[in-house]
Structure 1
Amino acid sequence: MKYVDSAQVKKNMGSRLFINNFAKFIFLLATLFGLVVLVTLIYRVFTDSIGWIDFNFLTNKLSTDPEKAGIMGAITGTLWLMVVVAPVTMFLGIGTAIYLEEYAKKGRLQSFIQTNIQNLAGVPSIVFGILGLTVFVRGLDLGSVILAGGFTMSLLVLPVVVVASQEAIRAVPQFLREASYGMGATKWQTIKNVVLPAAIPGILTGVILALSRAIGETAPLVVIGIPALLIPLPDGLMDKFTVMPMQIYYWTIDSALVAEYANLAAATIVILLLVLFIMNSIAVIIRNKFQKRY
């Protein structure tokens, strides 16, 4: 029987406990650092926006006078952008996920497509802006209009919807499909009546996250030439437009010359955060509703 040195065992245990506690301390510091930065940012934004958010700010158009400037044009442009992004992203994203998970044969082609979709999710957003400028603005000669911006943002968030929808469809138990086939249902009937209803919570989560990212992105719109100082309100897909992130971007730049623009940018950030909070809350409500049903 091999002799065990109790002193050495205690020493090793003490060393492991020290390393464990040190690692826990480092991770705690990292978490606290992120929280401190977040709280500081939110505090600064809210304090700078006090006194600037009112009915006139939400309903007025852009103006060179900070006291009269509003974001009605940016809000309208954001809503019009979502009119394009939401249906395009949902149709293409969910359709792609259904094909890859339910119809595509497992092999090199399916693996190639899957790998490229996952890689696209990590591509910098400005690259999608260059693609949108080349294909939609110049190639199709649409110009810097809502339709071109919507298609560009759809390409940006499409991988997020595809990956989330695939994971949701993949999580549906196989016995549900087999039970549907056993009752004589076709493949499409099984997907429509069994798979998709069970996968809806995960799919909706991915869609809402994708739309939230589209609302908050700026770089692709800067590249395709979306203006910030736009007085007329858009009323169609072929009109020029601006969005809240673009307005925040330009007001932040102009704050170096006029200090009040920093307050306007902060107020717009608060409105944008409120919109994102409402969207995520709706996603949680819908997801919980469908989870209880299925």
Structure 2
Amino acid sequence: MSIATRTAAEVTASTIATGRSRDRNPGSMIFLGALWFSLFFGVVVLAVLIIDTAIAGSQRFDLNLIQGYESIVRKDETGFRAGILGTIWLMVTTALITIPIGIATAVYLEEFADKKSWYNQLVEINLQNLAAIPSIIYGMLAAAIMGLFGFTFKGIVLGGAIALGLLILPVIIITTREALRSVPQDIRQASLALGATVWQTTWKQTLPSAIPGIATGTILGLSRAVGEAAPLIMLGVATVRFDPASLTDKVSALPIQIFNLASAPQDELRTAASAAIVLLLAMIIGMNALAIFIRNKFQRTW
């Protein structure tokens, strides 16, 4: 091999390995500049919106915001206690319903299912499509399920949890399967070679190794469900002025209260809605931060 050929091969290998290219022609530079401008513009607009919302709601950053209920008489003291507790009820119930089903489905499809069978291929296609369906459709489906169970009023904790669970179920299944795929096949083969069954290998080797990825995907799915309002509106979830105590109690949610108060004509209610938006953003950012911490703390390199 000549020196020129060897040098070109080394440059190509270095470019592939590092992901960097020394190509600096005008077209590539313009495209790179457009990418950076798009990223910068999106971040700036988001930052401006958050800062403007925080300034608008700064007068209501007090304890009454989270301890009080929505007030008809004293609008300047309206609070979101019912919405916050309702959101917590919905998230816990959603997690209890969805996480076992999602993980079990992902384990079956990834570790036990016959990839060539037509029904498993149909499930694969549907999973990819379900992740792109508008969230309001899941509200309609949950309303139909609640009707089958004989519930005349569907805006209860169980109904909201079913809607949000259906919404994030494809996300949990897909992320769990990706976490299982990241576990090297050598671990499975070594366990099977020592006499373990496929189930024992999955339960004691594969699943524990995939827990960081599973936990991260699950938390990210729940953080998406926290901010959803469309499926809950479809179920008739509205503002209530009491704390839910069971799965069959009427429930409110923070996004629903924000939606209602943001369109109110009174300035005091719109100010409270702005403060609640910042509170909801803090909850979502906190859940995302927890997911990042779990990923960085417990991830394994093979």
Query: Structure 2-normalised TM-score?
Result: 0.88
Q: Find the aligned partners of 1:192 and 1:48 in 2 and give their Cα distance.
A: 51
Q: State the one-letter code of the partner of 1:198.
A: S
| 1:81 maps onto 2:61 in alignment | no
Alignment equivalent of 2:295, drawn from 284, 287, 292 = 287
| 1:265 maps onto 2:283 in alignment | no
With 281-290 and 124-133 compared, the bigger mean Cα shift is at 281-290
Measured against aligned partners, the alpha-carbon deviations of 1:133-165 in whole angstroms (never above 9, x if no partner) come to 1221x2223322101110111001100000000
Q: Give, in angstroms, the shift of residue 282 of structure 1.
A: 2.1
Q: Give, in angstroms, the shift of residue 292 of structure 1.
A: 5.6
Q: Find the aligned partners of 1:292 and 1:237 in 2 and give their Cα distance.
A: 38
Q: Give, in angstroms, the shift of residue 16 of structure 1.
A: 7.8
Alignment equivalent of 1:233, drawn from 238, 243, 248 = 243
Q: Give, in angstroms, the shift of residue 291 of structure 1.
A: 2.1
| 1:252 maps onto 2:262 in alignment | yes
Q: Find the aligned partners of 2:202 and 2:297 in 1 and give their Cα distance.
A: 20
Alignment equivalent of 1:48, drawn from 48, 52, 56 = 56
> Structure 1: any 5+ residue segments left out of the alignment?
1-14
Measured against aligned partners, the alpha-carbon deviations of 1:172-200 in whole angstroms (never above 9, x if no partner) come to 10010011111111111111111011111
Give runs of aligned pairs for residues 70-219 of structure 1, distance below 5 A. 70-107=79-116, 108-136=118-146, 138-142=147-151, 143=153, 144-219=155-230
Q: Find the aligned partners of 1:49 and 1:120 in 2 and give their Cα distance.
A: 37
Q: Give, in angstroms, the shift of residue 286 of structure 1.
A: 2.6
In the alignment of these two chains, the number of paired residues is 276
Helix, strand or coil for the counterpart of 1:67? helix
Q: State the one-letter code of the partner of 2:231.
A: P
CA contact (8 A) 2:78 2:269 kept: no
CA contact (8 A) 2:262 2:273 kept: yes
CA contact (8 A) 2:176 2:214 kept: yes
Measured against aligned partners, the alpha-carbon deviations of 1:23-62 in whole angstroms (never above 9, x if no partner) come to 1222122112211210111111111121201111110111
> Structure 2: any 5+ residue segments left out of the alignment?
1-22
CA contact (8 A) 1:200 1:287 kept: no
Q: Find the aligned partners of 1:292 and 1:100 in 2 and give their Cα distance.
A: 23
With 217-226 and 257-266 compared, the bigger mean Cα shift is at 257-266
State the match for 1:4 in structure 2: none
State the match for 2:36 in structure 1: 28
Q: State the one-letter code of the partner of 2:297.
A: K
Say if 1:237 and 1:71 are closer, same or farther in 2 by CA, change over 3 A.
Answer: same
Q: Find the aligned partners of 2:300 and 2:133 in 1 and give their Cα distance.
A: 36
CA contact (8 A) 2:59 2:271 kept: no
- Alpha carbon RMSD of aligned pairs, Å? 1.7
Q: Give, in angstroms, the shift of residue 103 of structure 1.
A: 0.7
Q: State the one-letter code of the partner of 1:62.
A: E
Helix, strand or coil for the counterpart of 1:51? helix
With 17-26 and 240-249 compared, the bigger mean Cα shift is at 17-26
State the match for 2:77 in structure 1: 68
Q: Find the aligned partners of 1:248 and 1:147 in 2 and give their Cα distance.
A: 21
Sequence identity (%): 39
Q: Give, in angstroms, the shift of residue 167 of structure 1.
A: 0.6
Say if 1:98 and 1:235 are closer, same or farther in 2 by CA, change over 3 A.
Answer: same
Q: Give, in angstroms, the shift of residue 293 of structure 1.
A: 9.9
Helix, strand or coil for the counterpart of 1:217? coil
Measured against aligned partners, the alpha-carbon deviations of 1:107-133 in whole angstroms (never above 9, x if no partner) come to 122221111011000000011111111
